[in-house]
């Protein structure tokens, strides 16, 4: 707060204001009211006030259409309207920003829900137009998958009946150029010298963090090239949420960069043993650990599929050491068995099984029943009604990852 008062125009003050605006406790609103006028009249603060219904939302979106705070405001209000069945209001909110004002993943989300709103309002032809407009922006990912399901181009299927072979899940994706704009960096990459390319980049940057989404994307690719998936994939996730949409081919390439296949033989074997689609296992590991076999969470989950020791012991029939759970071959088999158990429990419904992997089957059971969306008929709406934000995002990311892992190598643009 002191920084904001002394240097209200500094990048640090603006960042602190944005973070404060995202806090949900009532005290945050009181602190926002104490900021200097220039910071109060900023997109993050005005968006937060609009979310609290203390400002008109339309004025915020019109004034700051390319600010992340406006994107978040639009989605939260539209999501709340959809959950109440107020599809006309949801449609109005979703139409308030043009897709070209949003990064591709957010444009895809907007177009999907515009289509769903149109369908609920009786305009099936309009719904299909929105979903087809979505596909070049998001050939992979959750909304690319759901749009194709809604268009009738793919069927909902049980992950216990995989259509792809386990061997196919082990293949690596083809090489892609780095396209950094630096001839020497691109040459090192082309010569399959990713470590040398990374060292050149790091030396030239002098330890400075990436500046802007383009550099974030480049550094993420360099890091994943040397095996630092934990940081690199995290950077790629951040980059695509800020980069403008590219052509269909560019979006396809970005989707492949976001979903590398690591430990392919271990996942193929685990899928074959449990009768699961290997792409779903890849999707879980991508979200759980970013393929970092030795990682442990703050609550004690371990390894590629982030198994709790108690869960691993129950699945295996005996206690498992930390070292065993850090072994990709052991972790993937036990994680696949646990996921298979969840799928069997929920009769092959992937939304319920994946949500249970994150929140537990008991929590998921409490989200079913009268007054709640039907996960078989309206799985997208059921997912948005999940009361845990982490589980909502997790379910969409895992299932979107699984769809992306199943895409062919060449774009169907």
Catalytic center residues = 288
**Which of 331, 29, 214 has the alpha carbon at shortest distance from 222?**
214
By the 8 A CB rule, do 19 and 1 touch? no
Task: Label residue 199 exposed, middle or buried (CB < 10 Å: 0-12, 13-18, 19+).
Answer: middle
Q: Exposed (0-12), middle (13-18) or buried (19+): which is 52, by Cβ within 10 Å?
A: exposed
3-state helix vs strand vs coil in the chain, percent to 5: 65, 0, 35
In whole angstroms, give the CA distance from residue 295 to residue 299: 12
Question: How far, in Å, are 163, 167, 269, 321 from residue 272 at the CA level?
Answer: 12, 9, 5, 24
d(CA 405, CA 255) in angstroms, rounded, equals: 9
Phi, psi of 302 (to 5 degrees): -130, 140
Cβ atoms within 10 Å, residue 369: 8
Q: Whose CA is closest to 356, among 347, 343, 369?
A: 343
Contact 354, 398 (CB under 8 A): yes
In the numeric block, the tokens 């004025």 are attached to: 59
């Amino acid at each position: 707060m002191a920084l904001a008062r002394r240097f209200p125009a500094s990048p640090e003050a603006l960042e602190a204001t944005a973070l404060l605006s995202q806090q949900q406790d009532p005290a945050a609103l009181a602190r926002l009211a104490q900021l200097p006028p220039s910071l109060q009249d900023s997109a993050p603060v005005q968006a937060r006030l609009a979310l609290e219904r203390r400002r008109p939302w339309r004025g915020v979106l019109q004034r700051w259409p390319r600010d992340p705070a406006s994107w978040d405001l639009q989605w939260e209000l539209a999501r709340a309207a959809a959950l109440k069945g107020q599809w006309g209001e949801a449609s109005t909110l979703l139409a308030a920003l043009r897709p070209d004002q949003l990064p591709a993943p957010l444009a895809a989300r907007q177009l999907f829900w515009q289509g769903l709103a149109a369908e609920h309002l009786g305009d099936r032809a309009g719904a299909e137009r929105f979903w087809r407009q979505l596909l070049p922006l998001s050939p992979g990912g959750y909304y690319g998958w759901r749009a194709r399901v809604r268009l009738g181009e793919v069927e909902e299927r049980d992950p216990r009946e995989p259509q792809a072979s386990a061997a196919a899940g082990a293949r690596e994706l083809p090489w892609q150029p780095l396209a950094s704009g630096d001839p020497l960096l691109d040459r090192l990459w082309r010569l399959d010298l990713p470590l040398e390319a990374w060292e050149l980049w790091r030396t030239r940057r002098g330890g400075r963090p990436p500046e802007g989404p383009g550099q974030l994307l480049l550094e993420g690719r360099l890091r994943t090239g040397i095996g630092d998936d934990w940081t690199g994939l995290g950077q790629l996730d951040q980059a695509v949420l800020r980069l403008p949409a590219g052509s269909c081919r560019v979006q396809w390439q970005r989707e492949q960069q976001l979903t590398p296949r690591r430990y392919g033989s271990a996942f193929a074997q685990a899928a074959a043993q449990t009768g699961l689609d290997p792409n779903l296992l890849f999707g879980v590991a991508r979200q759980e650990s970013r393929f970092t076999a030795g990682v442990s969470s703050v609550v004690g989950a371990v390894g590629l599929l982030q198994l709790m020791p108690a869960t691993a012991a129950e699945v295996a029939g005996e206690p498992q050491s930390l070292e065993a759970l850090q072994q990709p071959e052991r972790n993937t088999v036990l994680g696949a068995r646990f996921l298979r158990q969840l799928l069997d429990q929920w009769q092959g419904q992937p939304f319920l099984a994946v949500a249970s992997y994150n929140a537990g089957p008991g929590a998921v059971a409490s989200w079913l029943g009268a007054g709640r969306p039907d996960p078989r008929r309206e799985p997208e709406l059921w997912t948005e009604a999940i009361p845990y934000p982490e589980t909502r995002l997790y379910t969409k990311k895992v299932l979107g990852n699984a769809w992306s892992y199943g895409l062919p190598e060449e774009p169907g643009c």
